[in-house]
């Protein structure tokens, strides 16, 4: 071999080495990206479990070092028992605050869906009920408390009632049914009751082992109602509750958001409150249909075209509107105790964009938006079978939500506007000055509005 060819071959080797080095650098570069993602994930997990706040600046270690760290991180990612406290990151400030407010919370999350009747709360509650195995959902447990106490004179004082609601909710969020048991009638025997209100509305109470079917027949997962469960063993319900990471309760009975402060501040809980509101005109229209006999008076007024201004019914309507607004004002004013724990949602927005709103709500609660929940929402908001018609969902459910415009007499719409004006303004519901506008579908009565 000539000198020349030897040299050429040496050059080739050199180039090869350089090339390999470049490839290696690119790979390492990529890996450090992965590293950073993996670390984020780990840190989130770590935060979810225990929350020490030590930091280790792995980000400024050498590439070789970072590969080691990557390996070590990866091994930990699959070892849930690992001690992650040595690995942390430049945690963003707001996340830090969150950590601080709940210094030793576990990964448990608690959601209170706070609404009033006829706001679509059962439907929105399903967004959580349908989450799947790791969420324990209760539908209107305070019904029992209200039922037993509204007749009792000693608690006609709203402050006392609110305190009882809060204590029962606290118990339930902690999977302790005993505060609630006191209000179930007839009283449970050995913590067993056949009388829990709307038990079938909680999937968690319809699954084995909480539900031991009396009659076994073909059961569809989402048709709890046809399944006959035996009496509810609350001890079992509590066990099931404790085994689940997420807890959600829907209630139309909490009147004032501020009465929840001690609950929100309870270090054992990690509460998020979602206040669901709806156009008060729609609520009235819906109530007139649902509770027809109770609203006979309103129908008469509509026919006569005259509404007595100082009627008790009007005062009640005003009271309802005012307390909804006042709760929202408390929430939107972001008091320290409620920071990042309050979200206001309009039913109309959910009707227009169910999936997006559900996504936002889940994001807010910190609970992963499960595919089961997604599927349920898809199934229950679709008009037609054409799954690829993106707009059908939006169009149909928003049509549903606007039906009231054709059922409410214009006179009554005006009454609501005069009584609930400030509430409507706050939530962005537009006033109508004539019947034509009320029933003209191409005119939206909803201002686009974001609530922070």
Residues making contact with ligand NAG (CB under 6 A): 60, 83, 85-86, 104, 106, 157, 159-160, 190, 192, 233, 235-236, 383, 396, 399-400, 436, 440, 442-443
The backbone region for 370, taken as left when phi is positive above 0, alpha when psi lies in -120 to 50, beta otherwise, is beta
Q: Within 10 Å of residue 193's Cβ, how many Cβ atoms?
A: 22
- Least CB distance from residue 104 to ligand NAG, whole Å? 4
| Residue number, 6 or 403, with CB nearest to ligand NAG | 403
CB of 186 to ligand NAG, least distance (A): 15
Closer to ligand NAG by Cβ: residue 60 or 388: 60
Tell me how far, at minimum, the Cβ of 102 lies from ligand NAG, in Å: 9
Rounded Cα distance between 451 and 412, Å, is 28
End-to-end CA distance of the chain: 79
**8 vs 239, which CB is nearer to ligand NAG?**
239
Q: 380: buried, middle or exposed (CB in 10 Å: 19+, 13-18, 0-12)?
A: middle
Residue 344 is encoded by which pair of tokens? 């206001």
Confirm if 276 and 115 have CB atoms less than 8 A apart.
yes
Phi-psi region of 270 (alpha: psi -120 to 50; beta: other; left: phi over 0): beta
Q: Which is nearer to ligand NAG, 59 or 306 (CB)?
A: 59
- DSSP class of residue 309 equals T
Query: Using an 8 Å Cβ cutoff, are 205 and 196 in contact?
Result: yes
How far lies 280's CA from each of 119, 361, 421, in Å?
9, 22, 9
Closest distance between ligand NAG and the C-beta of residue 282, in Å?
16
Closer of 190 and 220 to ligand NAG (Cβ): 190
Taking the C-alpha atoms of residue 165 and residue 169, their distance in angstroms, rounded to an integer, is 6
β-bridge partners, 193: 232
DSSP per residue over 18-45, as a string?
A: HHHHHHHHHHHHHHHHHHHHHHHHHHHH
Least distance from ligand NAG to the Cβ atom of residue 385, Å: 10
**Minimum CB–partner distance for residue 229 and ligand NAG (Å):** 13
CA angle, corner 423, sides to 299 and 335, nearest 5? 145
CA distance 17 to 115: 68
Q: Based on CB atoms, which residue is closest to ligand NAG, 104 or 151? A: 104
- Shortest approach of ligand NAG to residue 49 CB, angstroms? 9
In whole angstroms, how close is the CB of 435 to ligand NAG at the nearest point?
A: 10
Q: Which residues contact 154 (CB under 8 A, 6 or more apart)?
A: 160
**At its nearest, how many Å lie between ligand NAG and the CB of residue 132?**
23
Nearest approach, Cβ of 52 to ligand NAG (angstroms)? 7
| CA 10 – CA 4 distance, rounded (Å) | 10
Residue number with CB closer to ligand NAG (4 or 190): 190
Query: Which lies closer to ligand NAG via its Cβ, residue 341 or residue 420?
Result: 341
Cα distances from 355 to residues 58, 91, 136, 378, in angstroms, run 39, 30, 21, 8
Q: Least Å distance between CB 19 and ligand NAG?
A: 29
**How far apart are CB 344 and ligand NAG at their closest, in Å?**
26
Which C-beta is closer to ligand NAG: that of 86 or that of 245?
86
Distance CA(441)–CA(404), nearest Å, equals 11
Query: 60 or 80, CB closer to ligand NAG?
Result: 60
Which residue's structure tokens are 């070789």?
A: 64
Nearest CB to ligand NAG, comparing residues 10 and 436: 436
18/214 with CB nearer ligand NAG: 214
Closest among 81, 76, 263 to 179, alpha carbons compared = 263
Query: What are the structure tokens assigned to 178, written together?
Result: 């005993």
């Amino acid at each position: 071999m000539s000198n020349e060819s030897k040299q050429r071959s040496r050059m080739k080797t050199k180039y090869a080495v350089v090339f390999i080095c470049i490839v290696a650098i690119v790979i390492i570069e990529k890996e450090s990206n992965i590293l950073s993602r993996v670390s984020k994930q780990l840190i989130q997990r770590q935060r979810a479990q225990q929350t020490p706040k030590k930091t280790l600046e792995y980000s400024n270690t050498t590439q070789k070092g970072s590969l080691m760290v990557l390996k070590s991180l990866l091994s930990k990612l699959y070892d849930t028992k690992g001690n992650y406290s040595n690995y942390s990151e430049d945690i963003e400030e707001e996340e830090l605050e969150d950590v601080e407010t709940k210094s030793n919370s576990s990964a448990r999350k608690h959601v209170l869906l706070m609404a009033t009747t006829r706001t679509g709360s059962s439907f929105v509650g399903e967004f959580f009920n349908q989450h799947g195995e790791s969420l324990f959902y209760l539908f209107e447990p305070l019904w029992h408390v209200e039922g037993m106490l509204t007749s009792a004179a000693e608690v006609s004082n709203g402050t006392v009632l609110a305190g009882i609601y809060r204590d029962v909710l606290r118990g339930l969020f902690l999977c302790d049914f005993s505060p609630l048991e006191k209000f179930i009638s007839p009283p449970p025997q050995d913590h067993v009751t056949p009388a829990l209100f709307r038990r079938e509305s909680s999937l968690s109470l319809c699954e084995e082992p909480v539900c031991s079917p009396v009659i076994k027949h073909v059961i569809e997962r989402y048709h709890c109602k046809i399944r006959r469960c035996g009496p509810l063993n609350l001890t079992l319900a509590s066990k099931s509750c404790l085994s689940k990471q997420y807890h959600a309760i829907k209630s139309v009975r909490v009147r004032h958001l501020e009465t929840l402060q001690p609950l929100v501040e309870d270090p054992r809980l990690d509460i998020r409150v979602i206040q669901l509101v709806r156009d008060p005109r729609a609520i009235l229209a819906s109530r007139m249909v649902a509770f027809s006999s109770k609203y006979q008076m309103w129908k008469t007024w509509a026919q006569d075209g005259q509404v007595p201004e100082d009627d008790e019914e009007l005062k009640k309507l005003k009271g309802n509107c005012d307390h909804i607004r006042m709760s929202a004002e408390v929430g939107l004013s972001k008091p320290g105790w409620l920071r990042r724990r309050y979200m206001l949602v309009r039913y109309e927005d959910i009707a227009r964009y169910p999936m997006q709103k559900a996504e936002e709500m889940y994001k807010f609660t910190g609970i992963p938006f499960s595919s089961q929940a997604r599927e349920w929402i898809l199934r229950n908001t679709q008009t037609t079978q054409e799954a690829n018609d993106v707009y059908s969902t939006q169009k149909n459910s928003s049509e549903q939500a606007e039906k009231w415009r054709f059922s409410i007499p214009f006179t009554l719409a005006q009454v609501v506007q005069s009584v609930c004006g400030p509430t409507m303004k706050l939530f962005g519901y537009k006033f109508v000055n004539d019947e034509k506008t009320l029933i003209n579908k191409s005119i939206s009565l909803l201002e686009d509005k974001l609530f922070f």
